[in-house]
Amino acid sequence: MITTFKKIMDAQTQNKSMLCVGLDTDMNKIPEFLKGSQNGMLEFNKTIIDKTYDVVCAYKLNFAFYEQYGIEGMEVIRSTIQHIPSDIPIIADCKREDIGNTSISYARACFDYFKCDAITVSPYMGKDSIQPFFNYSNKLVLVLALTSNPGSSDFQRLIADGKPVYRHVIEKTSTWAARENLGYVVGATHPQDLSEIREDVPDRLLLIPGIGAQGGSIEETLKANGNGPAVINVSRGIIYASHQEDFAAKARDQAISYNRSLNR
Amino acid sequence: MITTFKKIMDAQTQNKSMLCVGLDTDMNKIPEFLKGSQNGMLEFNKTIIDKTYDVVCAYKLNFAFYEQYGIEGMEVIRSTIQHIPSDIPIIADCKREDIGNTSISYARACFDYFKCDAITVSPYMGKDSIQPFFNYSNKLVLVLALTSNPGSSDFQRLIADGKPVYRHVIEKTSTWAARENLGYVVGATHPQDLSEIREDVPDRLLLIPGIGAQGGSIEETLKANGNGPAVINVSRGIIYASHQEDFAAKARDQAISYNRSLNR
């Protein structure tokens, strides 16, 4: 049984890439000739995957973009996942949480039904809301710690016992599972905090979104992250690199260019 | 345009009921003769609705139970919602959150696609993660404050500036929208805290789960809540009252019995 953690590390070595492409596919933002249909959305994803699978270490699907289209969107998630080569790990970015009895069902949805390798979860509801995901001992749970958005300052940065809530989240949750099963989401928009987080959890895998459209800098992020295992996500900056027929070729160019910066 | 808030109040008056039935329907927990199929699950929900719609003030669908069955589960959500009488409000209990750009899609999924009246959201990611839901000015957003599960003590009760995180959540978010659009989830398992919350937000609508299977007491909950607008949810205690052919009649008996206690 290969763990998701190892699968990510292997893909990073094989493709010389820390880059995760975020398939945040919106039916209304894809090129005109694919717009407005479920098939177009799927075609868009498949073409992006065909052109980038050898330069990424993972794909991340943000479920929200698909859920807005209901059942049709769910079908696109399923077919997209089937199209991803089996050695490239898939992160379900769905930020789920619920009481223990119910989280079990979310774990089944993500790991059994959609066959994803990792999931993002929110920590607000605490231990019993996250624990059911650890029953899948080869899978990886990525807990929201310090998110990339402006709202991250509202509650994640409240100071309790001399340190921000997000550091309590990291400190406490890191006792719940080994690094093979538990990593964190830390936004690239907070490089100073990222470097402090790295002191606390040097060997945990971090999923780092917020590069590109959200304003995070690659250079500062890499410096802050040091040598820790990390997956750097870029979504809009890659998948919407062009709105013409050449969108996938341009996405590949962008992915290679990001990769070059990440490997510098 | 009638708001969800008013729709709930009207249903409470009409049916003399503060009770919300949680349709947390698990394909493996329903009576034997309906077990194991999407149609059975839908039949179960429809029969429960037919027998209880005149004694409830809302139905709550926890999406996790349906998502575990993927696309088939989504179809059950959609058909169940279509079966609910139009004057009974529907709460999508899906605890969503994401960055602003993405939360818009979750709002569309819940309000446009599934036609729900209210949604539960998690506050961890802050203001821009919740704000897109307020674009639907007749809908109700229920923010997780103090949840009913054991894990609620892990982070919700951290003390910052002399008060727990969940009270910061209530204090801050209550400035983001009027009471017609923003209420809270507070578990029945914390009556003492509930009564303090009521002092802070006497007129906000509270969705109160945790009665029954989770151990919350009706009497203590009502006392702590005082006269504030509240929806009391019971899921397993009603829908699984019997595992025989009479499950819906027994669910009705249970609903009436809960209602009697709530109206005492």
Q: What is the mean pLDDT of each run of 10 residues along chain B (264 residues)?
A: 96 98 94 92 98 98 97 97 98 97 96 98 98 98 97 98 98 98 97 97 97 90 97 96 96 97 92
Q: What is the DSSP letter of B237?
A: H
Which residue of the set B95, B127, B139, B172 is catalytic? B95
The two three-digit tokens of residue A114, written as one number? 């959609």
User: Where would I find the H helices in chain B?
Assistant: 4-15, 38-52, 63-67, 70-83, 100-107, 127-130, 152-155, 165-173, 191-200, 218-225, 236-239, 247-263
Interchain proximity A105–B129, CB inside 8 Å: no
Nearest chain A residue (CA) to B168: A155
- The C-alpha atoms of residue A225 and residue A192 are separated, in whole angstroms, by 10
CA distance B249 to A116: 40
Radius of gyration of chain B (CA): 18
Whether A109 sits inside 8 A of B64 (CB atoms) is yes
CB A188 within 8 A of CB B183: no
Interacting residues of B202 by C-beta distance below 8 A, sequence separation 6+: B226, B228
Chain A residues inside the 8 Å CB shell of B122: 95, 97, 122, 124-125
Among chain B residues, the shortest Cα distance to A120 is held by: B98
| Any B CB within 8 A of A75 CB | yes
Query: What pLDDT sits at residue A62?
Result: 98
Among candidate residues B35, B45, B205, B46, the one with its CA nearest the CA of residue B120: B205
Interface of B with A in 174-233 (CB under 8 A): 214
d(CA B51, CA B14): 16
Task: Round to whole Å and give the CA distance between A98 and A101.
Answer: 8
**Can you tell me the distance from the alpha carbon of B190 to that of A260, in angstroms, rounded to the nearest whole number?**
53
Phi and psi for A70 in degrees, rounded to 5? 60, -135
Taking the Cβ of residue B152 and every Cβ of chain A, the question of whether any pair is shorter than 8 Å is answered with yes
pTM exceeds cut of 0.90: yes
Q: Report the distance separating Cα A55 and Cα A45, nearest Å.
A: 15
Max intra-chain CA distance, chain B: 55
Mean pLDDT by 10 residues, chain A (264 residues): 96 98 94 92 98 98 97 97 98 97 96 98 98 98 97 98 98 98 97 97 97 90 97 96 96 97 92
Q: What is the pLDDT of residue B213?
A: 79
Asked whether the beta carbons of A47 and A247 are under 8 A apart, the reply is: yes
The CA-based angle A169-B173-A132, given to 5 degrees, is 35
Residues 6+ apart with CB under 8 A from A264: none
In chain A, what's the furthest Cα-to-Cα distance?
55
Rg (CA), chain A: 18
> How far is Cα of residue A49 from the mean position of the Cα atoms in its chain?
16
Range of the domain at A236: 4-263
Q: Are the Cβ atoms of A150 and B158 closer than 8 angstroms?
A: no
What pLDDT sits at residue B1? 85
A108 near B CB under 8 A = yes
Between the alpha carbon of residue A185 and those of residues A6, A119, A144, A210, B111, the distances in Å are 18, 11, 5, 10, 28
The closest CB to that of A149, out of B68, B109, B125, belongs to B125
Burial of B179 (0-12, 13-18, 19+ CB in 10 A): middle
Q: How far apart are the CA of B23 and the nearest CA of chain A, in angstroms?
A: 12
Active site residues of A: 95
Q: Which residues of chain A does B73 touch, with a Cβ-Cβ cutoff of 8 Å? A: 109
Predicted pLDDT at B263 = 94
Candidates B73, B95, B154; nearest CB to A98: B95
Q: What order of strands is seen across the sheet that includes strand B159-160? A: A163-164, A159-160, B159-160, B163-164
Q: Which residue carries 């300052």 as its tokens?
A: A153
Of A68, A151, A160, the CB nearest to B108: A68
Token pair recorded at residue B22: 């949680």
pLDDT at A41: 97
Query: Looking up tokens 């947390």, which residue turns up?
Result: B24
pLDDT at A37 (0 to 100) = 86
Q: Testing the interface with A: which of B65, B96, B98 to mutate, by most A Cβ within 10 A?
A: B98
- Select from B61, B149, B159, B185 the residue whose CB has the most chain A CBs within 10 Å, as the one to mutate to test that interface: B149
Domain count, chain A: 1
Q: What is the DSSP letter of B87?
A: T
pLDDT at B68: 96
Residue B101 is predicted with a pLDDT of 87
Set of chain B residues whose Cβ sits within 8 Å of the Cβ of A62: 98, 102
Q: What is the pLDDT of residues B82-125, one digit of tens each?
A: 999 999 999 999 999 999 989 999 999 999 999 999 999 999 99
For residue B126, the chain A residues in CB contact (below 8 A) are 149-156
* Letter string b/e over residues A70-88, b meaning 16 or more CB atoms within 10 A of that residue's CB: bbbbbbbbbebbebbeeeb
Query: What CATH number has the domain bearing residue B16?
Result: 3.20.20.70
Q: What angle do CA A252, A253, A257 make, to 5 degrees?
A: 115
Q: Distance (Å, rounded) from C-alpha A48 to C-alpha A29?
A: 14
Mean pLDDT for all residues in chain A: 97
Chain A positions touching B75 (Cβ under 8 A) are 71
Q: What 3 state SS string does B117-173 have?
A: CEEEECCCCCHHHHHHHHHCCCCEEEEEEECCCCCHHHHCCCEECCEEHHHHHHHHH
